[in-house]
Amino acid sequence: MNGPFTFGPDGNPMIGPVPGLQNYWAAVGVMAGFCQGGGVGRSIAEWMIEGEPSIDVWAMDIARFGNFATADWGTVKSSENYERRFVMTFPNETLPKGRRQKTTALYDRLIAKGAVMG
């Protein structure tokens, strides 16, 4: 079978109740669908029936993104994950795209003083 790859903004799936929408659930960005599908399906089913999954799914919870995660930001970050699909990644590596999506009021002043963000 062939089909499109799906990527989340951070490379992880996005599952769970969609914030702001009643009775609307998502299970998208599951890159290894055949491998991860059973676990994602089980977690979603438990979440719907029991009120929470039996394992910690925070890294996949769609609610992990705040209001800063616009559709445009999601597109930029997801395309970055696609571009880097077969590139070696390292722990705590900072990826460049979409970096200024969420900053504080001090960001520009800190950069002017030579701060390095990571």
**Rg of the Cα atoms in the chain:** 17
Q: What is the pLDDT of residues 84-105, one digit of tens each?
A: 888 888 888 888 888 777 788 9
**pLDDT digit string, tens, across residues 24-73:** 999 988 876 677 888 999 999 999 999 999 999 999 999 998 888 888 88
Structure tokens of 107? 């960001």
Task: Give me the sign of the Cα torsion angle 33, 36, 42, 47.
Answer: negative
| Ranges of each domain in the chain | 14-112
